[in-house]
């Protein structure tokens, strides 16, 4: 027999949503850093 949940389903959904938003923010920050690197490298490639 399975154990009852310690947290309600609604709480789990809220936690999951919060984690997804944090993950999305992290992905956006990484994408911005990648974009910034490519912007720096592009002019160097044109000069070559």
**Through-space distance between the first and last CA atoms of the chain, rounded to whole angstroms:** 69
Say what the pTM is: 0.57
Summarize pLDDT for 2-41 with one digit per residue, the tens.
777 688 999 999 999 999 999 999 999 999 999 988 887 7
- pLDDT score of 17: 97
The pair phi, psi for residue 34, each rounded to 5°, is -65, -45
- pLDDT score of 6: 86
The string over 7-30, giving b where at least 16 C-beta atoms fall within 10 Å of a residue's C-beta and e elsewhere, is eeeeeeeeeeeeeeeeeeeeeeee
Residue range 35-48: mean pLDDT, rounded: 68
Q: Where are the domains of the chain?
A: 8-48
């Amino acid at each position: 027999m399975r154990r009852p949940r310690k947290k309600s389903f609604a709480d789990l959904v809220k936690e999951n949503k919060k984690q997804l938003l944090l993950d999305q923010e992290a992905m956006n920050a990484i994408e911005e850093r990648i974009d910034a690197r490519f912007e720096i490298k592009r002019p160097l490639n044109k000069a070559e």
